[in-house]
Each structure stands twice: as structure tokens, then as C-alpha cells.
Amino acid sequence: MKQSSLQVPGFAGIHVALIMDGNGRWAEAHDLPRAAGHRAGVDAVRRVVEAAPRVGIGTLTLFAFSSDNWQRPPRETARLLNLVRSFLLQAARDLASRDVRVTVIGRRDRLPPAVQRAVDLAERATTWGRALHLRLAVDYSAREAILRAAARLAALRAPTREAFGRLLAEVDHDEPPARDVDLLVRTGGEQRLSDFLLWESAYAELIFTDRMWPEFDATDLEAAVREFARRERRFGALSPAAIA
Ligand code: IPE
Ligand code: IPE
Ligand code: MG
């Protein structure tokens, strides 16, 4: 009973979206500066990317930098974007050989030019990856994306969910477009979406964990996927048992 506004062949497996929250609090708890928390967060990213294909994940979307994160002090935003840049440069070298395709969703025009170049490089270097589609959400806001897609809606003769999903993919640079989110996990203890993938998560299963992002590892990811597998998704219909 799988429903998705966009069905994309090529990446077998579920779509997991991760809100990687708690870097700052983890650092504070260890008497470290926030920057150390963000660096430790990158190690956690490497762990989950490595584990994802073997736990049945075909698409992994990571919330790396939200459009609202621009409200943080410039020193912190610069550090975060620099980590995104170095991750992408390394991805261009390492992830291509591991059959991972990397793409970046969100606005690109406000990113520093060095980050924009790293995005291009990583996307081009990994374009043939088929084992995993890794999407990094950078300067991403779901509501802004929905607004920009809505502005293009008038050009459509018959608006449908599928057609709107395609417009959304267009404005987000979501190429190849991903299927809807199956499982959304947020670390760091908060239970909110913070403007992440609002349209695409309409029927996503949600898991909120108290683990801080730098502590998150392959075992946590596997446990989340196992919990997902135990849930019954009904998409508004009745379960077969209720119909009998
Ligand atoms: C998540 O950690 C990283 C980003 C938002 C980029 P935070 O920096 O939000 O960490 P906390 O929530 O302050 O602990
Ligand atoms: C969400 O975390 C954004 C990312 C993980 C990139 P925030 O820390 O920015 O979210 P709020 O402020 O707690 O809602
Ligand atoms: Mg936070």
C-alpha cells in the first residue's frame, strides 16, 4: 500500500529524512565549544551514510542548514557552511566510488561561492551513484519552497498533487526527484518539524529521539528502520484486517 506523489525508479529502498539536531547541546554537555559539536555531527553523518544502504534505505535526506539558521551569529553560520563544503568536497572523492549519488536541495543563491562550487562538484562526481541517493538540505525551508512552487502553479492547466510535487522538485533543485518521505527521524529531543519537508512528509512515520546528533550511530539508524517496519501505514484507508 505504497503511495507517493513521485515514484522514482533507480534507488531501491525507503526514503528516510533526518533532522540532525542537538550538536550544540552535546558540545555543551561535554564542555566543548558549539563548533566541536558541529564537527562531531559530521562524523555522525559519515556513519549513517555508510550504514544506510545495508539497512534498506534508498534515499536519505539530511537537514544540514535551515533557512532560519541564518538567524544564528555569522561566525556559526560560516562554520556550518564550511563543514557542508568540506563534506561535499570529500563526498566528491569518496562517495562516487561507493555508488552514492549526492544532491543538494534548497536555495543556492545565498550560499557562499565556494559552497556553490562544492555542490556542483559533488553532484557531478556522483551522478552515476545508484546504491543510495543522499540529499543534503542546505538553506532549505519547506514553506519557502511551497511558496515558490505555488507561484508557478498558474502555468499548470490541471493542478494535481503529482504536478505540484514536480514543481516543488523543480524549485528545490531536487533532481532526480525523490519519492515522498517514508520515515522522518529527529534527534536532540525536540518534537517539531522546524520547516522540513512539509509537503513530502504528509504520510511519513515520525520518530523523535533524545539522542543528540553527534551520538547517533548505525545501531540507532537500524533501530529506527526496524521501528518503522513495525508500523502499519494506512494512508487514510482501512487495514486489510478491518475490511475482512
Ligand atoms: C543541529 O544542531 C545543527 C544545525 C541546526 C545546523 P544545533 O546547532 O541546532 O544544536 P542545538 O539544538 O543547539 O543543541
Ligand atoms: C533544525 O534544527 C534545522 C537543522 C537540523 C538543520 P534547529 O535547531 O535549527 O531547529 P529549532 O530552532 O530547534 O526549531
Ligand atoms: Mg537545534
Number of other residues whose CB lies within 10 A of the CB of residue 29 = 12
Query: Is residue 5's pLDDT more than 90?
Result: no
Which residues line the pocket of ligand 1, CB cutoff 6 A? Answer: 20-25, 65, 69, 80, 188, 213
- Residue 171 counted as domain residue: yes
Burial of 194 (0-12, 13-18, 19+ CB in 10 A): middle
Known active-site residue 23: no
The cell for 67 is 533557512
14 within ligand 2 shell (Cβ under 6 A): no
The reply to whether 224 falls in a domain is: yes
Residue to probe by mutation, ligand 1, list 18, 19, 20, 21, most atoms within 8 Å of CB: 21
Domain boundaries, position 137: 15-231
The per-residue pLDDT for range 62-77, each reduced to its tens digit, is 999 999 999 999 999 9
For residue 123, being part of any structural domain is answered with yes
What is the pLDDT, as a whole number, of residue 3?
42
Is 240 within the bounds of a domain?
no
Cβ neighbour number for residue 230 with a 10 Å cutoff: 7
94 is catalytic: no
Would the pLDDT of 2 be above 80? no
Which ligand approaches the C-alpha of residue 184 most closely? 2
The verdict on whether omega for the bond into residue 176 sits within 30 degrees of 0, i.e. cis, is yes
Please check whether residue 1 lies inside any domain of the structure.
Answer: no
Q: Is the CB of 66 under 6 A from ligand 2?
A: yes
User: For residue 143, what is the domain's CATH number?
Assistant: 3.40.1180.10
Q: What is the pLDDT of residues 40-65, one digit of tens each?
A: 999 999 999 999 999 999 999 999 99
Reading phi first (left if > 0) and then psi (alpha if -120 to 50, else beta), residue 66 is in: beta
- Decide if 95 is inside a domain: yes
Residue 8, pLDDT above cutoff 60: no
Q: What is the pLDDT of residues 119-173, one digit of tens each?
A: 999 999 999 999 999 999 999 999 999 999 999 998 888 889 999 999 999 999 9
200 domain residue, yes or no: yes
47 within some domain: yes
Q: For ligand 2, is residue 20 a contact (CB within 6 Å)?
A: yes
- pTM (two decimals): 0.95
Question: How many structural domains comprise the chain?
Answer: 1
Q: How far is the CA of 142 from the centre of ligand 2 (A)?
A: 13
